Amino acid sequence: EMLEKGGYEHFMLKEIYEQPRSINDCMRGRIYPLEGKIQLGGIKEYAEKFKNAHRIIIVACGTSWHAGLVGEYLIEEYARIPVEVEYASEFRYRNPIISENDIVIAISQSGETADTMAAIEMAKSKGATIFGICNVVGASIPRLSDAGMYTHAGPEIGVASTKAFTAQVTALTLMAFYMAEVKGTLPKTKLIALLSELERIPSLVEKALESDKLILEIAEKFKDSRNALFLGRGSGFPVALEGALKLKEISYIHAEGYPAAEMKHGPIALIDEEMPVIVIATKNSSYEKVISNIQEVKARKGIVVAIVTEGDTDVVKMADYSIEIPASDEAFLPLLATIPLQLLSYHIAVLRGCNVDQPRNLAKSVTVE
């Protein structure tokens, strides 16, 4: 087993460290930065469908649903198609309004999640076109879909999803850029710049992993916490949700993810001198707003752990602990900001003596409803 773990103590840690490669594997052969082109073999026959799509509905569960929320930001921003993101388990039991001009994207690491499969079948019966984003080749969801993309992250053994999530986000990024290309909603020069930057992401993820030691020190401070709050805005919000889910799953610490501005509508009551508030505070369009949210936490003597852009000084001064990630275009923020949160959960769980690869009560894929 040690051999299978490639020298790492746990599969989860191995999979966290595999991300520069798995993100690269997801992009391989699909992006051509010099020409500003995206080639998605599985869906290329559907270019017209994307051009005429009235709406995209993303269905998924758990971490895959968080990837879907990132997809919503990217597709609406770049391809200007309205997107709804639905929990498969809710969607399947509603009587949703679906037309033939709707596209359903189902996201699943395993490709065997019962609720996601049922949601696909229901949408199909109402005439929607189904695209699957899946990691396991030949699984049930790709077989049920009209077309789709494999994420090529490689087998994920840890029950808590890490590299599969960043590969799903990469796949959705490619899809968003592809839709933007076919719809002509992005100037060619901008697309070229984004694709060249995307090509650098694996090496930037590598850099983000270098904070591992510092993150372990921070984990030591919070290993006995009973609660944690994760805040983010824009595409940082799904990152906060995913950070909270990871911590809950493997350390059994109660954690919540919130849009930073929603804090004052409730969770602010939880702030005290003990609970860590982890804030995605990178330099992007919501930077100034997030700074005011950090001030709200500090004014109530809360403890702030900030994920910041390298070289930041303003947030670093305000926060109790800061973890840097490399600067990049806002489009790729989720891919970079997720890394320190995975490591933080991992170290906290290990320090608490938890079984990180097989947390209690959880299964790798939920094949029953």
Residue choice 113, 284, 293, 342 for contact with ligand AGP (CB under 6 A): 113
The verdict on 116 binding ligand AGP (CB under 6 A) reads: yes
Least distance in Å: CB of 173 to ligand AGP? 17
Residue choice 36, 62, 71, 326 for contact with ligand AGP (CB under 6 A): 62
**Of residues 124-163, which lie at the interface with ligand AGP (CB under 6 A)?**
159-161
Q: How far apart are CA 226 and CA 252, in angstroms?
A: 9
The verdict on 71 binding ligand AGP (CB under 6 A) reads: no
Nearest CA among 105, 151, 169, 193 for reference residue 334: 169
Least distance in Å: CB of 110 to ligand AGP? 3
Q: For this structure, is 126 an active site residue? A: no
Give the count of beta carbons closer than 10 Å to the beta carbon of residue 42: 16
Q: How far apart are CA 233 and CA 239, in angstroms?
A: 9
The verdict on 61 binding ligand AGP (CB under 6 A) reads: yes
Mask for 241-260, x = binds ligand AGP (CB under 6 A): --------x-----------
Structure-block tokens of residue 162: 């890490």
Q: Could you tell me whether strands 37-38 and 31-32 are parallel, antiparallel, or unpaired per DSSP bridges?
A: antiparallel
Q: How far apart are CA 328 and CA 195, in angstroms?
A: 12
Helix or strand (DSSP H, E) at 326:
none
Q: How far apart are CA 50 and CA 201, in angstroms?
A: 26
| Site size with ligand AGP, rule: CB under 6 A | 16
The verdict on 22 binding ligand AGP (CB under 6 A) reads: no
Q: Looking at beta carbons only, is 10 or 283 nearer to ligand AGP?
A: 10
In the complex, residue closest to ligand AGP by CB: 62
Residue choice 6, 54, 362, 367 for contact with ligand AGP (CB under 6 A): 362
Q: What are the distances in angstroms from CA 295 to CA 260, 288, 337?
A: 12, 11, 21
Cα angle value 235/105/173 (rounded, 5°): 40
Q: Looking at beta carbons only, is 32 or 93 nearer to ligand AGP?
A: 93
The verdict on 350 binding ligand AGP (CB under 6 A) reads: no
Q: How far apart are CA 345 and CA 368, in angstroms?
A: 27
Q: What are the distances in angstroms from CA 46 to CA 37, 100, 168?
A: 16, 13, 20
Q: Looking at beta carbons only, is 132 or 234 nearer to ligand AGP?
A: 132
The verdict on 366 binding ligand AGP (CB under 6 A) reads: yes
The verdict on 89 binding ligand AGP (CB under 6 A) reads: no
Positions touching ligand AGP (CB under 6 A) are 61-64, 108-110, 113, 116, 159-161, 249, 362, 365-366
